[in-house]
Structure 1
Amino acid sequence: MSIASAIQLSLSGLRATQAGLDIVSQNVANAGTVGYTRRTLATEALVAGGRTVGVDVKGASRTLDTLVQRQLRLEQAGAAYASTRASVHTTLDRVFDRPGGVGSLPTLLSTFTGKLAALANNPSSSVSQSEILAAASDLAGSLNALSDQVQAMRQDTEDAIGAAVSKADGLLKRIADLNGRIVGHNTAALQDQRDALVDQLSTLIDVKATISATGAVSLSTTGGLTLVNGTVATGLGFEAHNIGPASRYDSDPALRGVGTITATDATGAKRDVIASGLIRSGEIAAHLDIRDTVLVQAQTQLDELAAGLASALSDKTIAGTAATSGAQSGFDLDLGALQAGNRITVSVTDPGGATRNLVFARTDSAAATAAAGEAGLIGIDFSGGFASVASQIQTALGGAYTVSNPSGSTIRLLNNGATSSVDAASATATVSGLSTGDPELPLFVDGPTGALYTGSFEGSSQLAGLAGRIAVNQAVKNAPSALTSYGPSVPAGDATRPLLLFDRLTKTERSFAGAAGIGGSASPWSGSVVGFASAVIATQASEANSAANLDAGQQVVLNAIQGRYAEQAGVDIDTELTQLIQLQTAYGANARLLTAAREMMDTLLRIAG
């Protein structure tokens, strides 16, 4: 090896060690910088003419495991999803059952039923009558306030979706812009900036990243939505609505009462992200679940409780009377007292032994009939008269039964006389007056106008948002004695009505819609109104506990994967100091070689001179 080659090699080594020292200093300086990835020097032997003539410095490369990074981003999305849901469930639990129980639903309902029991023991007490009305007002007011709080949370969630979508849209544009800067200038610093943006995005959306040969990153969701392709970003948009208890998501814009997320690609084509299920995790997915499921279910629980309070006290049962025609047998049922929304229940055993329990709802229009069907009931349009009512029930029961209108408002339901049977038939009718001779009492009504709650579907579902409107009947407030007196012939001090009201709330079983999610969303929950209120509180507590446990478990997983990622991509000061010592040694050796080569060169020059 010539002296000139030795000098060239030494200089090359010095340049490489200087570059290494620069990288070590960057690593040490940024040891605590969030998003900084540890650099290492990329070098290779410089070869010319089959001989090694130096070392070629390729630049800095980042030390990270892309598989661990991909898993980290998915876990970040999962953690954001779990944390967002846990926060809302915790808030709901506190809203429904206040700490200490003061003013909570169970406490107010217990106070109300206790006042009814006290009046039953002393029916003539005007003090007890006043206390019942005060307790009823407190209970209705609590339901109003809870409904308002749930709807405020739902509106806040709607607005949060808009803010998160706007943030995600901005991140996508910045990532696409960095892609353009990185291609052809693939620096570690720009890659760190881009990774930091992708990490932010991964808390909002479940995102997958793929790096191309040019260094550009392509992003998509696990549901298949392309987010970034090279320097082109998909546009994400959201238009928030002012939503109410009846507002629901629907893929049909004409029926949709809440906002949806729209993705616009480079050609201008738009897709409904929610309808296609393109976002499955992250903060945005959690907000969608909260808005469209969690809070809707919470409102339904309140509405079902309000409906149970009103109906339990005001609805009377109309029992069917036995009827026969030759070998056929069944029941006659007078439907004249039914109002829009009141129910008819028929139990039958079909040929072959299968049993059915059919629940019909009175409607007065085709639109209301369809709405009743969407609520899981069989709508019967009464606008065509009772012969038409009989025909519609006949269609629902089938040919193994005979349904007719023998007279007036009576419907006759008969079996086929041999292989089928009509096991039971009854209806409920809402009592409208205070002194009709019926002990039932419309103590709770729908809104300050005093409209009776009948479960109507005319115009819209009366159930939706009832908790926010329920009020004490002003007519009863004006005549507190109606709490005991239900007719002209009722003797003073009669306890029949307060006893019935107490039993209806504490003992009588009712069915509450499966949409309330009590005991499972697939089937109705049966029990007393008091029992349903307790079940609502227990369900909210259970949901909050489950969400908190899921959040805690997800955080453990996230912390573990963050630790694995940090071990590879993070800066360890001890490692850098060890690297520094090695570089110092290499620098000293290269400098010594260069000095020796120069001394030899000087000696040769003196000899030649």
Structure 2
Amino acid sequence: MSIATALNNALSGLTATAKGTETVASNLANVMTPGYARREVALSSQAPGGGMGGVRIDGVARLVDANLVSGTRLASAAKAETSVLADFFAEMGAVIGMPGEESSLGTALSEFQSSLQSAASRPDDDLRLEQVVDAAMRLARALNDSSRAVQDLRTMADAAIAADVAALNEGLETVAMLNRQIARSLAKQDDVSGLEDQRQATIDRISEIVPIQEVGRDHGAVALFTAEGAPLLDGSRPAQISYTSVGQMTPGMVVETAPVGRLVLNGEELSEGRMQLFAGGTLSANFDIRDEHAPRIQEELDALAFDLHERILSADLSLSSVDTGLFTDAGSRASAGGMTGLAVRIDVNLAVKPDSGGVWRVRSGLAAPVAGAVGDSSFLTAMCDAMNSIRSADAFSPFIGNASLQGRFADLEARVATRRVNAESDATMRSSQWEVVSGALMADGVDSDAEMQRLLQYEQAYAANARVVQAIEEMMDQILRI
């Protein structure tokens, strides 16, 4: 081997170890960076001859387990979906309350019943009659506030859908742009690892909105599909996804009735069946809240308000078939046909409110022409009996079986509490699954101990090659001195 060949071999080794050291430093610096994949220098020996030899740098390999990445994205979508649902049911649990809680619906009903019993024992006491009116107003407000909270959460879900769609479109545009940049860089034989990291991090963010399948394409590009097969990006232009936000939701607003719509994919609004193409992730969870979970609770609140209205109405013998009772539908008599949204409209009859001077009607009847005997507690007792009576649920009611009004309120509280517990349990399970698969992905990524061992090997290789260069320099000095 000539001195020139030996020098060339040593210099190529120094170059390779410098590149390897740089790669190790990058790995260690980005050990916690989302989307970063471990790098490793790819080396091969150069065949001796023609002044060649030593080691050749073939490039920097980006090492990533595609199966682990895909599994982590699916787990991330499931975690995000269940987290949104758990937050919704936690909010609803706080609004409806638990049995015995001071702010619960059941407590408001119990206070109204207690005020009726107290007034029935002393019907001549106007103060006790006023307490009945106050308790009735608090019960009506509790139903109003609960219904408004449901619609506020629907409104928030509607806004979240619009935000998710905007983020999804932005993410797809970013992936399409990175596809183009990677293709151009590969054509110039540039390192594309950094661009691939950016693309992976972008797709990871998208996967929280909707579960993603990634498929490799020519020239380093990737195509993206939902887990159920809807194409999002396959080519130079992503799919066109749009959604029109409603704004403030009201109880009567239901999907497929303007202005409440679904996703629009490439100019076509998706049917209920095709919405399954976007199942999973935060987008799906917010649609479920807007169109299923919140309307179901609204329906249950409306049924309770109607049951309260009807029971008190049946106890008042002073009323005709068109008169309004103690509880009204925004001043009118409620009907089964107009029950939607009753919980937000239910109110106490103006005729008994303190400033009307008609508090005596709580004792004598809402339509009584004149105040009856001050010792007559029959109407007060009849209202108590009506609420305590065991009645079957109406055919249109979401409740089933026979129960008192207190039983119906307790049933709603139990339903909401059960849904909250189930949602939190599901969220905990999905979070645990995500931690397992993301931990496996992290373990497959940068291992700081292994990187430090690799750095030591590069240091030893660098020292060996540097010693060869030093030996050649000493030889050349000896030759020049001859």
Query: TM-score with structure 2 length normalisation?
Result: 0.88
Query: Per the alignment, do residues 513 and 555 of structure 1 end up closer, same or farther by CA in structure 2, a change over 3 Å counting?
Result: farther
Letter in 2 for 1:211: G
**Residue 260 (1) aligns with residue 139 (2):** no
Partner of 1:366 in structure 2? none
Q: What letter corresponds to residue 328 of structure 2 in structure 1?
A: V
Q: Which residue of 2 aligns with 1:272?
A: 270
Alpha-carbon deviation of 1:567? 0.9
* Residue 358 of structure 2 is aligned to residue 454 of structure 1: no
Match of 1:498 among 371, 375, 380: 380
The answer to whether the aligner puts 1:556 opposite 2:432 as a matched pair is yes
Which secondary structure state, in structure 2, belongs to the residue aligned with residue 194 of structure 1? helix
Q: Tell me the CA shift for residue 168 of structure 1.
A: 1.1
Check 1:222–1:50 CA distance in 2 against 1; reply closer, same or farther (3 A cut): farther
Of 223, 227, 236, 1:222 maps to 227
User: Judging changes above 3 Å, is the alpha-carbon distance between structure 1 residues 17 and 505 closer, same or farther for their aligned structure 2 residues?
Assistant: same
8 Å contact from structure 1 (residues 261, 274) kept in 2: no
State yes or no: 1:573 paired with 2:444.
no
Match of 2:243 in 1: 238
User: For structure 1, which segment, 125-134 or 158-167, has the greater mean C-alpha deviation from structure 2 after superposition?
Assistant: 125-134
Aligned-pair distance for 1:546?
1.6
Query: In structure 1, what is the Cα distance between the partners aligned to 2:154 and 2:226?
Result: 25
1:445 matches 2:443: no
Separation in 1, partners of 2:228, 2:404: 43
Q: Residue 223 of structure 1 aligns to a residue in which SS?
A: coil
1:152 counterpart = 2:152 = yes
How far did 1:90 drift? 0.8
| Matched-pair contact (CA < 8 Å) for 2:46–2:52 | yes
Structure-2 separation of matches of 1:274 and 1:181: 37
Deviation at 1:130, TM superposition (A): 2.3
CA-to-aligned-CA distance 1:142-199 (integer Å, 9 cap, x gap):
1112212221121111111111111111111011100111124251111001111011
1:434 equivalent in alignment to 2:434? no
Give SS of 2:61's match.
strand
Say whether residues 1:248 and 2:254 are aligned partners.
yes
Paired residue for 2:290?
291
Residues 513 and 525, structure 1, Cα contact 8 Å, conserved in 2: no
Unaligned regions of 5+ residues in structure 2, if any?
187-191
Q: Does 1:87 align with 2:87?
A: yes
- 1:441–1:245: structure 2 CA closer, same or farther, 3 Å change rule? closer
Structure 2 counterpart of 1:532, one-letter code: R
Correspondence 1:343-492 to 2 at 5 A: 434-435=318-319, 442-447=325-330, 450-456=331-337, 462-477=338-353, 479-485=358-364
TM-aligned CA deviation for residue 258 of structure 1 = 1.8
1:546 aligns with 2:422: yes
Residue aligned with 2:245, SS: coil
Output the amino acid matched with 1:485: S
8 Å CA contact 1:85–1:286 kept in 2: the answer is yes
Shift of 1:41: 0.7
Q: 1:191 aligns with which of 179, 184, 196?
A: 196
Counterpart-to-counterpart distance in 1, 2:21 and 2:350: 85
Q: Secondary structure at the match of 1:533?
A: helix
For residues 346-391 of structure 1, give each alpha carbon's deviation from its aligned partner in whole angstroms, at most 9, with x where no partner exists. Answer: xxxxxxxxxxxxxxxxxxxxxxxxxxxxxxxxxxxxxxxxxxxxxx
Instruction: Quote the residue 1:59 is aligned against.
Output: 59
Q: CA deviation at 1:200?
A: 0.8
1:106 aligned residue: 106
Q: What is the CA–CA distance in structure 2 between the aligned matches of 1:569 and 1:99, rounded to whole Å? A: 50
Give unmatched runs, 5+ long, in structure 1.
Answer: 317-430, 457-461, 519-523
After superposition, residues 314-333 of structure 1 pair within 5 angstroms as: 314-315=313-314
Query: Retained in 1: the 8 A contact 2:303–2:397?
Result: no
CA distance in 2, matches of 1:149, 1:285: 21
Letter in 1 for 2:268: K
Q: Which amino acid aligns with 1:258?
A: V
| 1:142 counterpart residue number | 142
Deviation at 1:580, TM superposition (A): 1.2
Find out whether 1:533 has 2:409 as its counterpart: yes
Equivalent-residue separation in structure 1 for 2:396 and 2:81 (angstroms): 26
Deviations 1:181-229 (A, max 9, x none): 1124251111001111011111111111122242111111112211111
- Residues 48 and 504 (structure 1), Cα distance of their counterparts in 2 relative to 1, 3 Å cut: farther
Residue 216 of structure 2 corresponds to: 211
The structural deviation recorded for 1:104 is 2.4
Higher relative contact order, structure no. (Cα contacts within 8 Å, ≥ 6 residues apart):
2
CA distance 1:560–1:512, change in 2 (3 Å): farther
Query: Which residue of the partner structure matches residue 126 of structure 1?
Result: 126
The answer to which of 276-285 and 118-127 deviates more is 118-127
Aligned residue for 1:247, secondary structure, equals coil
In the aligned structure 1, how far is the partner of 2:132 from the partner of 2:64? 70
* CA–CA distance in structure 1, aligned partners of residues 177 and 206 of structure 2: 15
Tell whether the 8 Å contact from 1:208 to 1:219 is kept in structure 2 after alignment.
Answer: yes
- Give the alignment's TM-score, normalised by structure 1: 0.71
Whose strand proportion is higher, 1 or 2? Answer: 1
Displacement of 1:601 in angstroms is 6.7
State which drifts further: 46-55 or 544-553: 46-55
Distance 1:14 1:230 in 2: 42
Aligned-pair identity (%) = 30
CA shift for structure 1 position 574: 2.4
Q: 1:507 and 2:389 equivalent?
A: yes
Instruction: Quote the Cα distance in structure 1 between the aligned partners of 2:123 and 2:350.
Output: 20
Query: Which structure: greater helix fraction?
Result: 2
Aligned partners of 1:509, 1:245: CA distance in 2, in Å?
26
Q: Report Cα offsets for 1:34-79 as digits up to 9, x if no partner.
A: 4322211112233478998332212222222110110000111111
Q: Secondary structure at the match of 2:278?
A: coil
Distance 1:514 1:280 in 2: 30
Deviations 1:81-119 (A, max 9, x none): 111111111111111117972242111100111222233
Q: What is the rounded CA distance, in whole Å, between the counterparts of 2:395 and 2:260 in structure 1?
A: 23
Q: Secondary structure at the match of 1:53?
A: coil
2:218 & 2:5 partners in 1: Cα distance? 36
Q: Which has the larger radius of gyration?
A: 1
* 1:55 to 1:156, Cα distance in 2 relative to 1, 3 A: same
Post-superposition Cα deviations, 1:482-541, rounded to whole Å, max 9, x if no partner, equal 44435799876444432322122122313156774x5xxxxx353222111111112212
Paired AA for residue 446 in structure 1: D
Residues 435 and 488, structure 1, Cα contact 8 Å, conserved in 2: no
CA distance in 2, matches of 1:471, 1:309: 11
- CA-based RMSD of the aligned residues comes to 3.0
The answer (yes or no) to whether the contact 1:43–1:59 under 8 Å persists in 2 is yes
- Give deviations 1:543-590, integer Å, cap 9, x for gaps: 1122112112211111111111111123x3322221111011112222
- The 8 Å contact of residues 11 and 465 in structure 2, kept in 1 or not, is answered as yes
Measured in 1, the distance between the counterparts of 2:233 and 2:211 equals 13
The separation in 2 between residues aligned to 1:262 and 1:592, in whole angstroms, is: 68
